[in-house]
Amino acid sequence: MRAHFSSLVRKAVSVVMVAAVMIAFFPRITGTDETVLAEGTKNQDNTYLGISVITNPAVPEDVNSPWSGSYVYFGEYTKQYYGRRDLKFRVLQKDCTVYTSEKALFLDSDETLFSSEFDKESNNWEKSDLRDYLNTTFYEDSFSERERSVIATSTGNGNVVYAPGSYEEWYYVSPVSVNDKVFLLDAGEVMNEAYGYSSDCGWTSDVAYKLGSHETYGYHSVDNRLKSGKGFTWFLRSADPDLSRVISLVTDDGQLYEETIKFSNGVAPAINVYQKNIIFASSVGNRSDTFKLTFKDSGLKIAIQEGKKVSVSGTKVTVPYTITGTNADTATRASVLILDKEYKTENSNNANILYYDGLDGLYGKNGTGTFVLPASLKLKDWNTKYYVYILAEDINAEAETDFASAPVKLGVPVLIADPTPTKKPTATPAPTKEPTKKPSVTPTPVAGKKSTWSKENGKWYYYDKNGSKATGWYRVGSWYLFDRTGVMLTGWQLDGGKWFFLGKDGAMRSGWLQINGLWYYLDSSGAMKTGWQKIGTIWYYFKPDGSMAANEYCSGYWLNDNGSWTYEPKAKWYKNSVGWYYQDSSGWYAKSGTYKIDGKNYNFNSEGYCTNP
């Protein structure tokens, strides 16, 4: 009798339904209700741990209730008339295990993506052309390699059971099993109130039970089965076993209906994605029910740079990180995540986000980033009352899937003090720019004076063994320098392009030399040194005038008040939308004072910005 009723109803409703169904085969291109989404910034205001913010669908109050629940963007598809667009799915169930042994998000496309025949020969889902297309071309074209890695192979019939005497059992006998990455919903699933769909098939009840009756039948809309934009009926994988060339579908008014397998209808795919791979869900378009997901990517890894440590100065934490892995080049930022409990896969311990954002500083695969510890968190409670993690993230446009490394927990940071420079040193006097003028007269020997010093008219001379006045460099125990008339020179003297210092006694100095409170260094030849010089085991910097740098930055390195370089982090200038600031690789930055940098004094306000760049 069921077959007789099916035939009777099909004949009876064909006149009524044909117009509606035929209209559904052409897209309504009067517009789209899709929000144009702009690329956004992920932070603790719009991002949630795991899928804690995602809800299961609301049970419809009646057939006029629209579908209500959470939506997830995942993948993208080229849709006729609309071009490439992000795929939006309804979340039919979170923590779903009806198709997989592990928890998954059970997702159903929010719209019909394209129209297609079901098959050319049969209504058997397992052998259909549509199943083959969805699991090959569509699957590979719509989802990236990394997205495909988190899509589960769904098996079984979704634990659907058709109750005896129900519309589904009478019409379809039993559910259709799947073994697919991408599949179509079953008639029982689109009548499952737990999935947000009404249990009402869309036809008046007397039709189903007064078999063969010629009484007036009727049908009505079921709004929660309507897809975004409407415009298409959409296929189910359920089929009438008595009619091999007929397949079930949902009309554009939400009734369960059927049509020949060779007649094109809309396709709304369903998938399951593993929950264990989801790190974050982030709001899309400032909506409280629509999200993008961040999946853990085994090809992204982050760690603290070898030989370096996380440090803290005040409340500013500095993190020297390195990003590696086969997908390291896709990373767009290094992020910090602070939780009230330790991070667990699937957020099994219900941890809450206390702070989440990108690290400040210039991003690089080997970089140094900083963040300020929230005022509510005390350093002494690190790894006891809260836990700090870093991640490498590939953040894409607002409705596109993101990827991240597994979170790496940070140990308690090393406490460091600010290397605050002291007041600027006194001005450095430059050596004499010109040597003593060269006389035009050549000295002649003086009788009776040999190998002896002689002071004449307040000036010193030295007579060599021949009785001639010494000129140029001459060694008398120590080295001395005489001009061309034989006068012994003192002080700074330029000879052969190099500066030398001769004491008041005329003797050439070497090694460390202090003049007017400033230090100089002369090598064993007496030549004054400039630039970076390693003396013993310590590096020093001597300015172009030869004076030693102290209490200042030179070439980005901080030199102590004794001139030694022992503080390794290197500083350099940065500029943002506010202004210029000077920061080193440990995260320390100049602020609230005057700092000497490469010979010039710069003033910095309490926020660290230079007021006289």
pLDDT tens, position by position, 98-121? 999 999 999 999 999 999 999 999
- What integer pLDDT is reported at residue 206 of this predicted model? 47
Highest mean pLDDT among 9-18, 39-48, 531-540: 531-540
- pLDDT in the model for residue 132: 97
Give how far the C-alpha of residue 47 lies from the chain's centroid of Cα atoms, to the nearest Å: 13
CB of 83 closer than 8 Å to CB of 151: no
Instruction: Count other Cβ atoms within 10 Å, centred on residue 336.
Output: 22
Percent of the chain with pLDDT over 90: 63
- The per-residue pLDDT for range 380-426, each reduced to its tens digit, is 899 999 999 999 999 999 899 999 999 999 999 987 654 444 333 33
Phi, psi dihedrals of residue 3, rounded to the nearest 5°: -65, -40
Burial class (CB in 10 A: 0-12, 13-18, 19+), 449: middle
CB atoms within 10 A of CB 452: 13
Mean pLDDT across 63-80: 91
Tens digits of residue pLDDT in 441-481: 445 556 568 889 999 999 999 998 889 999 999 999 899 99
Answer whether 480's CB lies under 8 Å from 464's CB.
no
The larger pLDDT score, comparing residue 331 to residue 416, is at 331
User: How high is the pLDDT of residue 33?
Assistant: 33
DSSP letter, residue 195: G
Token pair of 237, please?
Answer: 């994988």
Report pLDDT for 442. Answer: 46
**What is the C-alpha separation between 541 and 554, in angstroms, rounded?**
7
